[in-house]
Structure 1
Amino acid sequence: MNAVDRAVTQQLGAALAAAEADPDVRAIVLTGTGRAFCAGADLKAIAAGERIDDPEHPERGFAGYVQHFVTTPTIAAVNGFALGGGTELVLASDLAVLDEAATLGLPEVRRGLMAAAGGVIRVQRQLPWKVAAELALTGEPMDAATALRWGLVNRVAPAGTVLEVALELAGRIAANAPVAVRETKQMLHRTATLDSAWEGPAWDLNADAMRRVLRSEDAREGPRAFAQKREPRWSGR
């Protein structure tokens, strides 16, 4: 069920770091094998007294993912049920595609726990407040159609095609200028909680990001390719 133990945390965190460091990787897709995307924390490991964190990288958080910010866009391809920590992986991803039979949920309160791997931090930022509160306080699951209706996910894929749909979405991102994509993602996150889109802080961040974009080779290649009526050849620099 892809439950998260220490090995999963260490390996997923390392894979995310390696992808971020590779200039040829322009989008990251996270999916599961079998009938589950992720069943959350490995409760059997916890019950046995085992730790599921990465002692070398505690800053990466649950599964080496939920506090591990990367500038490369991330997409959750949810192939099956994703409860508890599985939903928190979805919430930590930039985009999400669900199999039509997949379910999300934060059932921690039913086990005397709290969705502390980002669930109670992110869910009300990505859903209307009362919808988020119902999901978190009842612990009841949400089906794919409902998640799509509320904008919690980007696509619902026909059964068995979620990875294909997610990779197509990743390809559309990867076709764009890498520097501009990275700066755009960072701006979306940096300004999401600012009080105003009209006052100084957001625009100061915007100006800094645009300076970095305009200094890139990609910013020169884009107009040049357009003028020459050809596809751009991005360098990522």
Structure 2
Amino acid sequence: MAIDIELSQHIATITINRPERLNAMDAEHYRLLSQAWTRVRDDPEIRVAIITGAGEKSFTAGADIKSYLSRDFHWAEQWLTQKDQLLNRGLEVWKPVISAINGFCIGGGVTLMLATDIRLAVASATFSLAEVKRGVIAANGGTQRVVHQLPHAIAMEMLLTGDAIDAQTALRWGLINRVTSRESLMVEARAIAERIAKNAPLAVQATKELAIRSRDMDLAAGLRMEQLVGRTLLQTEDAKEGQAAFKEKREPKFTAS
């Protein structure tokens, strides 16, 4: 039982490896996942990450209900807002993250997916925010991101009924990018990651940050920030390499410098 992370050609593949519990996560697995995201954020060798679940049944069922609802809670924890941060709970990771959803995507699985940038799913995948059926809320961004990423009525139906939707419905509403076969899931996720990893890392990260922050800025502020970041990137070695490669009709070799 672990959170596995493999690095190859600037791509980190994170696997939630607890298939006997539908990849549900207890406190220890959340701590390990936090460490994995921190490595993605900080390791200069990583340019893109893929997150998936072990086995063929589940991406992740989110929090392990048995351990989560019965855990000892200390009020002081309410203000430990920086402890064991996650991608979907405050940790800023500007490197692109791809979800490869291999089965059930339930509760915290959906909130994790909502914090990723590109999402692929097998045809048998199902998606639900079922926390209200257990007397709790869709935490770690569940009540926040879903209303930003889906039409209001659809988001509220998912949140308030706790009912599941299938992969085709998720595709129709733009919750995921595409539905693929189980055999092709990681192949396609890897292919997208490779295309991203070939691009200039600083420009990719800047693009993601600008896009994400635009949700909380008015257009004038967003355009100004875009201008400042764009001018900053023009001074980088990667920008010079990109221009040189274009003129010389060759593939650029970016170094994130």
Report the AA paired with residue 104 of structure 1.
Answer: F
Alpha-carbon separation, structure 2, partners of 1:58 and 1:214: 36
Give the alignment partner of residue 172 of structure 2, picking from 136, 146, 149: 149
The share of aligned pairs that are identical, in percent, is: 40
Alignment of 1:93-112 (within 5 A): 93-112=116-135
Gaps of 5+ in 2: 1-21
Does residue 138 in structure 1 map to residue 161 in structure 2? yes
Q: Could you tell me which residue of structure 1 aligns to residue 71 of structure 2? A: 49
Structure 1 residues 119 and 61: alpha-carbon distance in aligned structure 2, compared to 1, 3 A threshold = farther
Report the AA paired with residue 187 of structure 2.
Answer: E
Alpha-carbon separation, structure 2, partners of 1:22 and 1:47: 34
Report the AA paired with residue 251 of structure 2.
Answer: E
Give the alignment partner of residue 183 of structure 2, picking from 149, 160, 167: 160
Q: Could you tell me which residue of structure 1 aligns to residue 247 of structure 2? A: 227
Q: Could you tell me which residue of structure 1 aligns to residue 45 of structure 2? A: 24
- Say which structure is richer in strand: 2
Report the AA paired with residue 39 of structure 1.
Answer: A
Report the AA paired with residue 215 of structure 1.
Answer: Q
Measure how far apart 1:48 and its partner are.
4.2
**Aligned 8 A contact 2:40 2:93 in 1:** no
Measure how far apart 1:20 and its partner are.
1.8
Alignment of 1:56-205 (within 5 A): 58-59=81-82, 64-67=86-89, 68-195=91-218, 197=219, 200-205=220-225
Report the AA paired with residue 202 of structure 2.
Answer: V
TM-score, normalising length: structure 1: 0.91
Deviations 1:78-114 (A, max 9, x none): 1110100011100011111111111111011111211
Measure how far apart 1:46 and its partner are.
2.5
Measure how far apart 1:60 and its partner are.
6.1
**Aligned 8 A contact 2:31 2:84 in 1:** no
Q: Could you tell me which residue of structure 1 aligns to residue 30 of structure 2? A: 9
Report the AA paired with residue 29 of structure 2.
Answer: V
**Aligned 8 A contact 1:36 1:79 in 2:** yes
Measure how far apart 1:163 and its partner are.
1.7
Report the AA paired with residue 66 of structure 2.
Answer: K
What is the DSSP-based 3-state SS (H/G/I as helix, E as strand, rest coil) of the residue aligned with 1:236? coil
Alpha-carbon separation, structure 1, partners of 2:231 and 2:136: 45
Gaps of 5+ in 1: none
Measure how far apart 1:215 and its partner are.
1.7
Alpha-carbon separation, structure 1, partners of 2:148 and 2:92: 17
What is the DSSP-based 3-state SS (H/G/I as helix, E as strand, rest coil) of the residue aligned with 1:97? strand
What is the number of equivalent residue pairs in this alignment? 229
Alpha-carbon separation, structure 1, partners of 2:81 and 2:32: 13
Alpha-carbon separation, structure 2, partners of 1:207 and 1:60: 34
Report the AA paired with residue 124 of structure 2.
Answer: A
Measure how far apart 1:218 and its partner are.
0.8
Deviations 1:110-136 (A, max 9, x none): 112111221110001111111111111
Give the alignment partner of residue 206 of structure 1, picking from 211, 226, 229: 226
What is the DSSP-based 3-state SS (H/G/I as helix, E as strand, rest coil) of the residue aligned with 1:230? coil
Measure how far apart 1:4 and its partner are.
1.3
What is the DSSP-based 3-state SS (H/G/I as helix, E as strand, rest coil) of the residue aligned with 1:192? helix
TM-score, normalising length: structure 2: 0.84
